[in-house]
Amino acid sequence: MATLFISDLHLDPRRPTIVSLFLDFLERRARRADALYILGDLFEAWIGDDDDAELGHTVAGALRALVESGVPTYFLHGNRDFLVGQGFASASQIQLLPESAVIELVGEAVLLLHGDTLCTDDVEYQAFRAQVRDPAWQAGLLARPLAQRRMLASQLRETSRQATQAKGTEITDVNPMAVEHALRTHGVDHLIHGHTHRPAIHQWILDGRPARRAVLGDWYEQGSVLCCDRAGWRLESLPLPGV
């Protein structure tokens, strides 16, 4: 069996085909895994664990069924679902990870990130990230009525979309020096992250040792999963139903 990694699903009721693909993935492919790691942006937006929208309850139930089948499931916050809290974790039985986590994977230490902290050339985004990750800011947001939070989330998504379109790809991609700094800081040679929507497995020499960085793909036109076992690391695509 393999350990599976996914990110950037951006689940949204307006994209029911992707939601169905993810639920099928949990019921079938993920049931054969040693473990599942979700490295952020599971949802297009998460406005708090008290949200009564159907999608959150459906996904929590499906994740819980996976965990109860014997597959431990871990979640690391992304830039769209940083408000996922202990309420959702309890409902789904997933285990919340810190924003940077080192795990042992097939005998090797591997750093897990969402990936947005590596995009250090995007100074505007990093300032925004610092604001929304501040506990006081989050507490103030969660104190607002759900309707206000939904409106704000919609506004933030549109602002993010426009800002991303206005920036070059070199700005929104990771900074190579930030990648190497993260590896050195955590004392590892391997990294798995999402966020950039540029799936690939990069290999190079860092400080005289082989280094490896896997970038997870998004779930827009298809599903994307990284499978890690003793045979190696493989990025696999999951076709949409009927394709």
80 is known to lie in a ligand binding site: yes
224 is known to lie in a ligand binding site: no
175 is known to lie in a ligand binding site: no
181 is known to lie in a ligand binding site: no
20 is known to lie in a ligand binding site: no
| DSSP string covering 182-235 | HHHHHT-SEEEE-SS---EEEEEEETTEEEEEEEPPPSSSSEEEEEEETTEEEE
**Quick one: CA dihedral 69, 78, 118, 134, positive or negative?**
negative
79 is known to lie in a ligand binding site: yes
Nearest by Cα to 45 from 109, 141, 184: 141
122 is known to lie in a ligand binding site: yes
Say how many C-beta atoms besides its own lie within 10 A of residue 68's C-beta.
9
195 is known to lie in a ligand binding site: yes
Q: Which residues are annotated as a binding site for substrate?
A: 79-80, 122, 160, 164, 167, 195
Q: Which residues are annotated as a binding site?
A: 8, 10, 41, 79-80, 114, 122, 160, 164, 167, 195, 197
- Numbered residues of the known binding site for Mn(2+): 8, 10, 41, 79, 114, 195, 197
